């Protein structure tokens, strides 16, 4: 304040000079926490909870090796199981030799116990195959890794599958191995059908250790795996089944899917079963060679036990071949054909009265050096279970085989012969037909030796007819190629020349002769009429004269007809009159 003196040292403090030496003291006033601070505290708590939850749920880190990581993105691609996310791809890197892609992923805690040696990983992408289209959802969400959990020892480093597995590891059923010479159209995903119903599929294939056959790995789902027995037959049931036989070409079409993927069929022959359409056809006329009362039917034997897992079966080319009797007793015979045997090969069917009872197991061309001839040697195998012998037991395969062997031997004495017959004119396929041949030379079929020779004869089919016609034409050609035919033609030409000269010389005299004959006939007719008028009906000769006049009239008519004929056919004077062929 202006004009106000400052207090001197030692002066007492008064109201006037208090503001210079002494300041008023501040008093603490209690403050309340503002509400605005609750927001960051809550956020911090949420972050802490999320961090704890994330750390708690965080599972182990794993690595999966793939040949390629097409479609995968670090930090985005997921690992799923049945559509649920169970992990995330963290990073991708190449292996040191650049041959693989190493995927680093973080899994959730729930699947930690399922990361074992049997756990499988594969990349899911859009895929179009013979079994259908899969992975279409990845067109929107992107590729992801599918995991299938396993059991056993824990593991963190895995090798991913290049292709998705066709079957889930926990699929109930049994796996079997099928072997064949060539793979054909069979591949992964090929369905396995039982009477048209899909009950399994092919998982894969590989060559055997020797590289001579193909092993096809098949899986049949439960409960259909109980249909597989030790004697079950598998065959390649292609979508288009083309077969040629005596009835021509047979084409069988199945579903469109099988047209692309093919199929495998199987069935278990029941005791006493035979090939389709042959159950009653061979009962028989031939079987009457063994007469006797019909034996009572025995109870069928029990079916074979169920096949064990991983059992090996043969894969046949067709159902007909598969259902043949491959394991039961067989009758084998050797054959000899002197005629051309084009089309005879291993697998050629053997028929008895048109019913297929076996097939050819061996065929080869043989040269007989002593005789200097060639012939076709073959061996056929016959299923005795197809032929039903009247009065013979059916429950004992050995007795059935013996009965059929003896029955065939008796039929051979009655003329049963094997013939090589053309089964199809389109394909040239042959078959061996066994039938009764009348007036066949006597023959016997031994029953106490192995592989006896079954009597054969030349078949009278189209091939034999064409061969006979060819021989006839050859003889005609040989006859016409000699000098005799030329001399005969020359003589015939000379004879016709002489005949033409004679006709030319006689022709000028034919016309006067014809005119004379006509005049004579007219005069005779006039004379007859004059005589009839002179004599009258009441004369003495009236009763005899009409007949005479009738004869004269007939003679005149004949002369007129002769003149007319000679005028039309003057050569008749030389050759005579030929009778017309009857109509």
Work out the angle at residue 470's Cα, subtended by the Cα atoms of residues 464 and 471, and round it to the nearest 5 degrees: 90
Its pTM stands at 0.52
Residue 128 confidence (pLDDT) = 64
Distant-in-sequence, close-in-space partners of 193: CB < 8 Å, separation ≥ 6: 199, 237, 263, 264, 265, 266
Residue with tokens 């960051």: 40
Q: What is the pLDDT of residues 34-91, one digit of tens each?
A: 667 777 878 888 888 777 766 766 788 999 999 998 889 898 999 999 889 999 999 9
Residue 129 confidence (pLDDT) = 59
Burial label, 262 (beta-carbon count in 10 A; 0-12, 13-18, 19+): buried
Q: 441: how many CB neighbours lie within 10 A of its CB?
A: 9
Whether the Cβ atoms of residue 569 and residue 507 lie closer than 8 Å to each other: no
Residue 431 confidence (pLDDT) = 86
Render 331-392 in DSSP notation, one character per residue: EEEEEEE-S--TT--TT-EEEETTEEEEEEEEEEEEEETTTTEEEEEEEEEE-TTTS--TT-
Average pLDDT (481-503) is: 74
Q: How confident is the model at residue 296 (pLDDT cuts 50, 70, 90)?
A: very low
Q: How confident is the model at residue 176 (pLDDT cuts 50, 70, 90)?
A: very high
Phi, psi of 197 (to 5 degrees): -100, 130
Distant-in-sequence, close-in-space partners of 219: CB < 8 Å, separation ≥ 6: 167, 171, 173, 174, 175, 176, 192, 200, 201, 202, 203
Q: How confident is the model at residue 286 (pLDDT cuts 50, 70, 90)?
A: very low
CA neighbor of 149 nearest in space, from 59, 237, 75: 59
How far apart (Å, rounded) are the C-alpha atoms in residues 524 and 517? 11
How far apart (Å, rounded) are the C-alpha atoms in residues 369 and 371? 6
How far apart (Å, rounded) are the C-alpha atoms in residues 190 and 260? 9
How far apart (Å, rounded) are the C-alpha atoms in residues 202 and 264? 9
CA neighbor of 60 nearest in space, from 99, 114, 10, 98: 114
Tell me which DSSP letter residue 547 carries: H
Q: Is the pLDDT of residue 271 over 70?
A: no
Residue with tokens 């041949």: 437
Q: How confident is the model at residue 535 (pLDDT cuts 50, 70, 90)?
A: low
Q: How confident is the model at residue 476 (pLDDT cuts 50, 70, 90)?
A: confident
Q: Look up residue 389 and give its two tokens.
A: 């012998």
Residue with tokens 């084998």: 332
Residue 162 confidence (pLDDT) = 86
Q: How confident is the model at residue 106 (pLDDT cuts 50, 70, 90)?
A: very high
- The lowest-confidence range among 119-123, 466-470, 489-493, 520-524 is 466-470
Phi, psi of 134 (to 5 degrees): -130, 160
* Highest-pLDDT range among 71-80, 244-253, 545-554: 71-80
Phi, psi of 559 (to 5 degrees): -65, -40
Residue 103 confidence (pLDDT) = 94
Domain ranges across the chain: 50-159, 328-481, 483-575
Q: Do the strands 173-180 and 214-221 form a parallel or antiparallel pair, or are they unpaired?
A: antiparallel
Residue 373 confidence (pLDDT) = 86
How far apart (Å, rounded) are the C-alpha atoms in residues 578 and 140? 104
* Highest-pLDDT range among 51-65, 94-108, 303-317: 94-108
Whether the Cβ atoms of residue 514 and residue 561 lie closer than 8 Å to each other: no
How far apart (Å, rounded) are the C-alpha atoms in residues 179 and 384? 27
Q: Look up residue 574 and give its two tokens.
A: 């030389």
How far apart (Å, rounded) are the C-alpha atoms in residues 219 and 202? 6
Phi, psi of 244 (to 5 degrees): -120, 140
Q: Is the pLDDT of residue 158 over 90?
A: yes
Q: Look up residue 479 and give its two tokens.
A: 């006859």
CA neighbor of 259 nearest in space, from 178, 324, 191: 191
Q: What is the pLDDT of residues 420-450, one digit of tens each?
A: 887 766 666 788 888 888 888 888 998 888 8
Question: What would you measure as the largest C-alpha separation in the chain, in angstroms?
Answer: 233
| Neighbouring-strand partners of residue 362 | 379
pLDDT, the chain, mean: 77
Residue 147 confidence (pLDDT) = 92
CA neighbor of 419 nearest in space, from 368, 353, 470: 353
CA neighbor of 164 nearest in space, from 108, 119, 110, 120: 120
Q: Is the pLDDT of residue 333 over 90?
A: yes
How far apart (Å, rounded) are the C-alpha atoms in residues 55 and 46? 14
Find the distance separating the first CA and the last CA of the chain, reported in whole Å. 176
**Number of alpha helices (DSSP H) and beta strands (DSSP E) in the chain:** 10, 24
Whether the Cβ atoms of residue 87 and residue 107 lie closer than 8 Å to each other: yes
Whether the Cβ atoms of residue 96 and residue 45 lie closer than 8 Å to each other: no
CA neighbor of 323 nearest in space, from 381, 273, 379, 251: 273
Distant-in-sequence, close-in-space partners of 36: CB < 8 Å, separation ≥ 6: none
Render 166-209 in DSSP notation, one character per residue: SS-TT--EEEEEEEES--TT--TT-EEEETTEEEEEEEEEEE-T
Q: How confident is the model at residue 218 (pLDDT cuts 50, 70, 90)?
A: very high
Q: Look up residue 530 and give its two tokens.
A: 């004059």
CA neighbor of 278 nearest in space, from 327, 329, 349: 349
Q: Do the strands 233-236 and 312-316 form a parallel or antiparallel pair, or are they unpaired?
A: parallel
Coil, strand or helix at 17:
coil
- The lowest-confidence range among 105-109, 143-147, 285-289, 562-566 is 285-289
Residue 473 confidence (pLDDT) = 72
Average pLDDT (517-537) is: 71
Q: Is the pLDDT of residue 285 over 60?
A: no
């Amino acid at each position: 304040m202006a004009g106000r003196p400052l207090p001197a040292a030692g002066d007492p403090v008064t109201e006037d000079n208090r503001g210079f030496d002494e300041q008023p003291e501040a008093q603490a006033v209690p403050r309340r926490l503002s509400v605005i601070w609750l927001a960051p505290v809550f956020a911090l708590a949420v972050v802490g909870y999320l961090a704890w939850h994330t750390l708690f749920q965080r599972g182990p880190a794993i690595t999966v090796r793939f040949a390629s990581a097409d479609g995968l993105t670090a930090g985005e691609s997921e690992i799923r199981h049945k559509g649920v996310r169970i992990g995330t791809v963290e990073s991708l890197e190449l292996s040191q030799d650049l041959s693989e892609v190493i995927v680093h992923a973080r899994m959730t805690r729930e699947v930690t116990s399922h990361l074992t040696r049997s756990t499988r990983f594969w990349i899911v992408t859009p895929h179009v195959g013979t079994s259908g289209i899969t992975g279409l959802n990845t067109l929107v969400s992107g590729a992801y890794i599918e995991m299938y959990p396993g059991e056993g020892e824990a593991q963190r480093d895995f090798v991913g599958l290049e292709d998705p597995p066709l079957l889930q590891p926990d699929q109930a059923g049994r796996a079997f191995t099928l072997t064949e010479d060539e793979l054909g159209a069979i591949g992964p995903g090929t369905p396995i059908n039982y009477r048209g119903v899909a009950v399994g599929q092919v998982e894969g294939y590989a060559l055997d250790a020797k590289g001579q056959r193909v092993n096809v790995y098949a899986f049949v789902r439960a409960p259909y795996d109980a249909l597989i027995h030790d004697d079950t037959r598998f065959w390649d049931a292609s979508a288009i089944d083309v077969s040629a036989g005596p009835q021509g070409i047979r084409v069988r079409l199945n579903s469109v899917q099988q047209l692309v993927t093919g199929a495998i069929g199987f069935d278990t022959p029941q005791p006493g079963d035979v090939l389709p359409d042959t159950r009653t056809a061979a009962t028989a006329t031939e079987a009457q060679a063994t007469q006797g009362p019909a034996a009572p039917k025995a109870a069928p034997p029990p079916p074979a036990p169920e096949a064990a897992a991983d059992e090996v079966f043969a894969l046949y080319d067709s159902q007909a071949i598969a259902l043949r009797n491959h394991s039961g007793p067989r009758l084998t015979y050797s054959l000899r054909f002197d005629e051309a045997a084009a089309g005879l090969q291993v697998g050629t069917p053997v028929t008895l009265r048109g019913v297929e009872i076996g097939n050819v197991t061996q065929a080869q061309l043989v040269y007989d050096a002593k005789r200097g001839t060639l012939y076709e040697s073959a061996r056929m195998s016959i299923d005795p279970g197809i032929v039903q012998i009247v009065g013979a037991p059916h429950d004992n395969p050995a007795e059935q085989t013996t009965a059929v062997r003896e029955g065939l031997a008796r039929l051979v004495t009655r003329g049963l012969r094997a013939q090589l017959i053309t089964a199809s004119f389109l394909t040239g396929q042959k078959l061996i037909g066994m039938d009764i041949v009348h007036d066949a030379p006597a023959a016997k079929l031994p029953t106490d030796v192995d592989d006896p020779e079954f009597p054969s004869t030349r078949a009278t089919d189209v091939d034999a007819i064409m061969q006979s016609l060819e021989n006839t034409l050859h003889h005609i050609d040989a006859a016409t190629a000699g000098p005799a035919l030329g001399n005969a033609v020359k003589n015939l030409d000379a004879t016709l020349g002489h005949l033409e000269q004679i006709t030319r010389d006689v022709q000028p005299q034919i016309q006067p002769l014809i005119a004379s004959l006509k005049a004579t006939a007219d005069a005779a007719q006039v004379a007859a009429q004059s005589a009839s008028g002179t004599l009258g009906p009441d004369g003495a000769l009236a009763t005899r004269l009409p007949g005479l006049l009738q004869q004269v009239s007939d003679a005149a008519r004949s002369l007129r007809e002769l003149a007319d004929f000679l005028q039309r056919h003057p050569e008749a004077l030389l050759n005579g009159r030929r009778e017309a062929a009857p109509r």
